[in-house]
Structure 1
């Protein structure tokens, strides 16, 4: 006869109880771990992402300290870069002549009074000959005038001869002065001509310092008087010339800050301050000119470049960062502080609240104030967040 063994019911209950307690403890541990992870992420403690030097360079990371930015309302305005009229110059020929040589090309930097070309023509030689003859004749008439003056004062010559000598000398002096002025316009050395030197060619000189923007002639070309031959632009005084539409005119005034970008350099922001607001409307489109002096001139800013700008309505600044520097995880936002450790970089998340948005910039407030001069990642925030979460997942296993 077989014997059947029964497990006491009390023992079965004890096994089930122990199993249930073990499961409960595991679930509780997971809850605690999740809460700790979330707490660490919000405080920025015990969480970091490490990038090697190679990863840092491959991602083209941008690191900087916090910046203050005006996040108030703004007026959108487009325009172009310009220079004041006194910083532009057109070089012309004062008389018809042939271009003997050209000394510069477009883009060259020139100093004030630097020679840009040489001209030659028989009329230029003729005026030097006329001056030399007039100068020599004037010297003779001066001697005659002084002789007649002495005779007249001594009472041995008539007043008529003295008056005639005086008139002839004054007329010759006027002619010499007139021809001398023309020679100076040609940039001809007057003293050299007086000594008998006749210059075959004359220099064209730049009236200002700047860059050659246009060369309108060729070697050997005959140019008419007052023809524009060269254009020189002094780019040191380049400024933003914006067009503000009629509906926004009352929002714009002198002293306001302008932030703008140049199409040829996407991502680079320039800052300017309005120093002049136009008082007359352009008709197409109906807008006024607003001129702003650029504060952070970087690179080659060329007049005529198209710009897109925002004129700040109020001067209230707040801490702000680019949108690419902020990562959103659920209902929370984070930025990453950055610290160099040898050749590698360490990035630690810090929770922030976000505010107004201005273009690609967003106002932020920290839950925990960072130390002064702390550096932050200005881009790739979502990549850093993904790497950190991936590290957490690997660690949990």
Structure 2
């Protein structure tokens, strides 16, 4: 029994020793897995390069969004001053129109009644004016009473006011008062385009009745389009006139376009805490922008110098970023170790390294690192 006990203790000690050895072996593997070896011939054949951290300019940016829009004076909502039935509507959405071009024709018996009233007053006005002049002369010569004079004056001026009012209404309806005075009455009126542009909405059809409150159609002049951006309150003090903007139309193109801040809003929306920023597009003819398109934009508010690495020197593994730093060189072999990176601002070619203290004055593999990373895996 004593011998069995001694044997058991011995085996237990051996097992503990092997466990410690295995643990040490695993730790060594973990340490060695962070080191990558490359020969001189491999370094040359893959055209690898060493470099160091360098200072580069990075833009300070504000990310925002908005829409393609046009100035208010480039939009027109067409309505009728009086209700009527549509008898002619030759245009469709997308049609190009010129200022003064016929858009739609309306018909209403009330148009005729208004012209009749105008014609009746116009014919009476000549008599009322001469009667007013006669009574004034008689009153000045003390021949007639003041009452008769004032009555003639009141009748004439009242009729004149009605005449001018009806004349103005007919002009607003595009009815020729000269034609009416010649006895040519019409039951229809034409509506014409107030601006050059394109028809973007048509809300009527032949035979439909429209009231003065109805928008018959909308026209937009796209000769000068711009961007209306929404900037949050926390960023608005950084936005200034003439700052550069880069923007995309994510639903239509991957191309990047340029714009410039033109106006910064002076009020904040109480609900959204957003300020509107008006930007002019540079080279508007570069693309066929459509009013209402959604845009994603970056406003460049300034620049700052930061220590950075070229993107070829940055390797991505399991959502983490690393770079390869030369640990030593011996016997024509290069020994690199992986250093985890904390990245900041980026541009097309470089990325800011926030934990730059670990890399200062170190030789870093700035080209060819992807091949080494694959070998290490």
Bin for the TM-score computed over the shorter chain: 0.5 to 0.7
87, 98, 102: which one aligns with 1:111? 98
**Counterpart secondary structure, 2:284:** coil
- Separation in 2 of the partners of 1:78 and 1:37? 43
Q: Deviations over 1:291-317 (max 9, x none)?
A: 11112112332221000111011279x
Question: What is the RMSD computed on CA atoms of the aligned residues?
Answer: 3.2
Which portions of structure 1, spanning 4 or more consecutive aligned residues, are displaced by more than 4 angstroms?
34-38
Q: Deviations over 1:72-95 (max 9, x none)?
A: 221111111122222212111222
| Structure 1: stretches of 5+ with no match in the other structure | 1-30, 39-69, 317-322, 324-330, 332-355, 364-397
252, 274, 290: which one aligns with 1:302? 290
130, 136, 139: which one aligns with 1:149? 136
The alpha carbon displacement at 1:218 in A equals: 0.5
- Separation in 2 of the partners of 1:315 and 1:150? 85
- Separation in 2 of the partners of 1:162 and 1:178? 24
The alpha carbon displacement at 1:284 in A equals: 5.8
So what's the TM-score if we normalise by structure 2? 0.64
Q: Mean Cα displacement is larger for which, 153-162 or 231-240?
A: 153-162
191, 208, 212: which one aligns with 2:178? 191
Q: 1:133 to 1:362 in 2, by over 3 A?
A: farther
- Separation in 2 of the partners of 1:37 and 1:305? 47
**Counterpart secondary structure, 1:313:** strand
So what's the TM-score if we normalise by structure 1? 0.61
Q: 1:136 to 1:291 in 2, by over 3 A?
A: same
Q: 1:71 to 1:187 in 2, by over 3 A?
A: farther
Q: State the match for 2:108 in structure 1.
A: 121
- Separation in 2 of the partners of 1:292 and 1:144? 64
Q: State the match for 2:370 in structure 1.
A: none
Q: State the match for 2:194 in structure 1.
A: 207
Q: State the match for 2:161 in structure 1.
A: 174
- The question of whether the paired residues in 1 share the 8 Å contact of 2:60 and 2:303 is answered with no
Q: 1:296 to 1:315 in 2, by over 3 A?
A: farther
Q: 1:80 to 1:284 in 2, by over 3 A?
A: farther
- Separation in 1 of the partners of 2:147 and 2:82? 41
Q: State the match for 2:64 in structure 1.
A: 77
